[in-house]
Amino acid sequence: MNLKTSFLKNRIDADSPNKNIVPVTTLIDNANKLSIGGCSIEDLVLKYDSPLYILDEITLRNSCRAYKKALVKYYPGESLPIYASKANSSIFMSNLVASEGFGLDAVSEGELLTALKGGVPNDKIVFHGNNKSDKEMEFAIKNNIKVIVDNDHDLKRLEEISNSFNRDIEIMIRFTPGIECHTHEYIKTGSLDSKFGFGIESLSKLFEAIRKTKHIKLIGLHAHIGSQIFELDPHNDLGEIMVNVISQAEKFGHNIIELNVGGGLGIKYTEEDDPPSIEEWIKTVSSSIVKACNKKNLNLPILMCEPGRSIVSTAGVTIYKIGSFKEIPGIRTYLSVDGGMSDNPRPITYQSNYSACLVNNPLNNNSKNKYTVAGKHCESGDVLFKELELGDCKTGDLICVFGTGAYNNSMSSNYNRIPKPSTILVCNGEAEIIQRRESPHDLLRYDVLPDRFIKQS
């Protein structure tokens, strides 16, 4: 990565943060050291230790506002952006998106509870999942949270629960529109072969089944075609397909008033990435739905979308401290850091690429050393970067990895019994803890030694 392009040529885009590598408040001070949100990263590590997750509040809010602004500009009907909380779920994130007028999507009771504790209004939360438990469904229904029905099992259980409560329930259904997009095969969720959603060919049968239920009212449709998408054409096609399904549902007496097109807009992890802007994505989605509704003489539905990565990813960085070096002459030099696959499982899982720099020499001046950056876990594949160009560095120096706000914290683990990092929010020179660092003792809280083993000892 050549950070000179981002820092020195004024390419930081405050209106569409997903097109940046770095948070919008990123600066290099006169001492050639990195700061974010007006806070010195070196000072943050001295106070909060490492590894350390940092979230930039201004970048987060700019991302939310870009979606809201674009929806007002391009969609003449009512709209509701919904934060895909799987990207980074916390009471703080729930509170922030709620304060920006967003709803939230959740896929477990834990995410639902986090949203409610964070202040997201019940009527702006949607409950996803391809294998919801009865307990989770009952929690959603008791809290007046809309369920997105994913399959026949969902529908059957929901009908039984609604009958037992003698209570009417509004639902959306998720279907697979059959659109392929150029992304990693593990996250192609909108293709015909997917664990998510009803097949589009089965919708007539589904609409008839819902019509015969006593308490279930179908008011919305949902589709999602993938993640980290750089193309606009698939979402242009999606709008027309979804409007066609509205017409199909109406033939069975269903009044579809909500249309949820999912998320999937990509972000810029490396200089080679070139995602559409948030405005371009919203314009494409909105225009396709408006055009299709006009063609079929339908009222505009409430337009929902579910951005996750493009809200939080660029706002987040992870800071590591350099430990050992190992040079294998003629092959590579390993540089090991104090974190790795437990705080960022995406490289070993998806072969994901990131950008990074030294905190005390972010422009990599006077050197073109290349390192394989390895994590500290007992796993040969625990490698964060295979060929990272850095300036001269030594044990104790800090590395800042960009674009880690999404899926790093939420997918983190305690592999090797390593505690999870803390998360710090930075804004206008102030830093606040929003998630505390775990301690090794925290990891023992739920371990239980059976009585007979205690007696033997």
Supply the residues annotated as catalytic.
Answer: 378
Residues 319 and 362: beta-carbon distance below 8 Å = no
Residue 433 CB neighbour total at 10 angstroms? 13
Residues 375 and 340: beta-carbon distance below 8 Å = yes
User: Which amino acid, residue 364?
Assistant: N
Sign (positive or negative) of CA dihedral 162, 165, 166, 168 = negative
* Lookup result for tokens 């029905």: 149
Contacts of 256 (CB under 8 A, 6+ apart): 218, 219, 220, 221, 246, 249, 250, 301
Residue 303 structure tokens? 């337009």
Distance CA 31, CA 253 (A): 68
DSSP bridge pairs for 369: 390
Integer CA distances (angstroms), 37 to 26, 44, 49, 423, in order: 7, 11, 18, 14
Q: Phi then psi for 269, rounded to 5 degrees?
A: -85, -35
* Lookup result for tokens 């409430």: 302
C-alpha of 447 from chain center:
31
Distance CA 195, CA 212 (A): 26
Please tell me whether the peptide bond between 51 and the residue prior to it is cis, using omega within 30 degrees of 0: yes
Angle of helix 278-296 versus helix 57-74 axis, rounded to 10:
30
Angle of helix 91-99 versus helix 109-117 axis, rounded to 10:
60
Biggest CA pair distance of the chain = 77
CA end-to-end distance (rounded Å), the chain = 56
Distance CA 207, CA 221 (A): 11
C-alpha of 270 from chain center:
18
Residue 353 CB neighbour total at 10 angstroms? 16
Residues 248 and 204: beta-carbon distance below 8 Å = yes
